[in-house]
Amino acid sequence: MSAETLNMRRNDWRARGNAGYWAFVVHRISGIALALFLPLHFWALSTSLQGAAALDGFLLWTDAPLFKFAEWGLVILLTAHMAGGIRLLVIEFGQWHGTRKLWIAVALAASVAVGVLLGAIMLS
Amino acid sequence: MVGLSLMRPLKVKIWRGGQQGAFVAYEVPRLASQSVLDVVTYVQRSLDPSLSYRFSCRVGMCGSCAMSVNGVARWTCRTHVAKVTDEARDDVLELAPLSNLPIIKDLTTDMSEFFDKWAKAKGQFTGTLTRDDEFSNVKPDSPERKKVDAAIECIGCGVCYASCDTVSWRPDYLGPAALNRAWSLVNDVRDAAQNDRLKSVAGDSGCHACHTHTTCSERCPKGIEPTAGISGLKRLAARAAIRGELD
Amino acid sequence: MKASTQAKLWYAQRISAMLLALCVLVHLVTILYAMRGGLSAAEILARTRGNFSFAIFYFVFVLSVVVHAPIGLARIAEEWMQWRGRSLHIALLLVTLLLTVLGLRAVWGVYVG
């Protein structure tokens, strides 16, 4: 039964401003992006089965700026998904000490750090 | 200090109607230390007696006056108008019935499903002793009792349930309040229906649907953190499932 | 799906998440290390071919992903697309198979050849 037929009101973004909610949004969006990217990543790596030349053919392709930017973004999303995921594990399996907002800050900091580091390496 | 004339009247928008409805604008005299429930009561008594809303104790004990205040579920008797609106900016106070619950009329929702889910989560105590037995001794400082303490002050206002997006996405999800209740009983050493309870709270309509948005813990007016209890249930239920005790 | 099955899936996703947290950490360091000075296929393959400890590491990594991702995708399909039941389970089984085949092929290609 959907909310419409039951005649309920739905929350809008005013009800969702808390840090934990944003952590969820990042976790879900990054999860979807990584799941979509994975088959492509696996497929690209398996071109090496046809030898180094085939893999190089693919790597040449990835030199395009758009591709570089997407790669950079995906590594950041991977970091965010991992660090945010550790927070969830700590909440679900650790001793209870609240909603661990510090971990949200840690996840954010880790993502920014990896983003800057990787950006610097890519541009150098 | 109750200088009525010195204060700008408060602009209020209240949801009127049920199936179909709309916000209706009112103006209410501003008072010092005015609660949101005071505003609703003023509208009902002085401006429009046909306004429907629920309240009882007015002091944060009964859990009947929760509404959506400027888009956020709150207990209205203990929410100051000054906390949710800025007089200098002439903010409008927007009042609506709680989300995730069917609207009956105006600010009243049908909470039967909310409480039915408490029953589905085996929220009833199942004892083994009779009146002829000695009292059970539960030490106040035992770990189990402390876990119960953290969950037991729930007044059933529905704020967490109305705030939870997982409830919106999955209408059969039991929700934070029912699971918090189950958690307080899971830690009740006298209760004899533990396995039945874990069966009722496991899976996708139960604790495992929770995504740890933590909105329930953020909004609970009593400072309870249902996220903690739900996490505990996740662990216990999953362990029982792996041991084959839930089949 | 039975509640006990759902509870086990939740557990499987969390256990795989614990493994993945470690794997991703190693993977990130590897990426940052390997990216310095650009990448060429010959360079990559010279490092990786016959490196069996890394092969085993990425084998575990792929299997953890294969467990972790489809369970998460199921939640998203149910909550955001209202897609539930048998057709969803079959679709996710196919996704799982696809990821397994592609993932293991990739590990084989890069580390064994």
The answer to whether B173 contacts chain C (CB < 8 Å) is: no
* Residues in Cβ contact with C79 at an 8 Å cutoff, skipping those fewer than 6 apart: B166, B169, B170
Q: In this complex, how many residue pairs, one in chain A and one in chain C, have their CB atoms less than 8 Å apart?
A: 96
Parallel, antiparallel, or unpaired: how do β-strands B10-17 and B92-96 relate? parallel
For residue A61, pLDDT over 90 is answered with: no
Separation of alpha carbons B127 and B192, rounded Å: 6
* Euclidean distance between CA atoms A68 and A76, whole angstroms: 13
- In this prediction, residue C37 carries a pLDDT of 66
- Distance from the Cα of B147 to chain A's closest Cα (Å) equals 10
Are the Cβ atoms of B169 and C80 closer than 8 angstroms? yes
Query: Does C4 contact B206 at a Cβ distance shorter than 8 Å?
Result: no
Helices (H) and strands (E) in chain A, counts: 5, 0
Chain A residue with Cα closest to B163? A15
Q: What is the DSSP code string of C57-88?
A: HHHHHHHHHHHHHHHHHHHHHHHHS---SHHH
Between B226-242 and B143-151, two packed helices, what is the crossing angle to 10 degrees?
130
Give contacts of C75 with chain B, Cβ < 8 Å.
Answer: 211
Q: Residue-wise over B190-205: b if at least 16 C-beta within 10 A, else e?
A: ebebbeebbbbbbbbb
DSSP symbols for B129-192: --TTSPPP---TTSHHHHHHHHHTT-----HHHHH-HHHHH-TT---HHHHHHHHHHHT-TT-S
- Give the H/E segment covering residue B48: none
How many domains is chain A built from? 1
Instruction: Give per-residue pLDDT as tens, A23-57.
Output: 999 999 999 999 999 999 999 988 888 888 888 88
Query: Angle of helix C52-80 relative to helix C86-107, nearest 10 degrees?
Result: 160
Question: Please, what are the domains in chain B?
Answer: 4-109 (3.10.20.30), 112-242 (1.10.1060.10)
Which pLDDT belongs to residue B6?
Answer: 63
Interface touch C24/A39, C-beta < 8 Å: no
Residue of A nearest to B214 (CA): A20
**Does B213 lie at the interface with C, CB-CB under 8 angstroms?**
no
**Residue-wise pLDDT tens digits, B46-91:** 999 999 999 999 999 999 999 999 999 999 999 999 999 999 999 9
Q: Given pLDDT bands bounded at 50, 70 and 90, which one contains residue A3?
A: very low
Assign A4 a pLDDT band (cuts: 50, 70, 90). very low
pLDDT band for position A65 (cuts 50, 70, 90): confident
Put simply, the answer to whether A38 touches C103 (Cβ < 8 Å) is yes
Interface test with A, best of B214, B217, B219 (most A CBs within 10 A): B214
Domain extent at residue A116: 19-123
Would you say residue A6 lies in a domain?
A: no
- Are B97 and B42 contacting, i.e. CB atoms less than 8 angstroms apart? no
**Cβ–Cβ below 8 Å for A92 and B234:** yes
CATH number at residue A57: 1.20.1300.10
Say if A104 falls within a structural domain: yes
Whole-number pLDDT of residue C104: 96
3-state secondary structure B13-27: EEEEECCCEEEEEEE
Subunit contact C4:B202, Cβ cutoff 8 A? yes
**Domains contained in chain C, CATH given:** 3-112 (1.20.1300.10)
B242 touches chain C (CB under 8 A): yes
One pLDDT digit (tens) per residue for chain C, 113 residues: 889 999 999 999 999 999 999 999 999 999 888 877 667 888 888 888 888 999 999 999 999 999 999 999 999 999 999 999 999 999 999 999 999 999 999 999 999 87
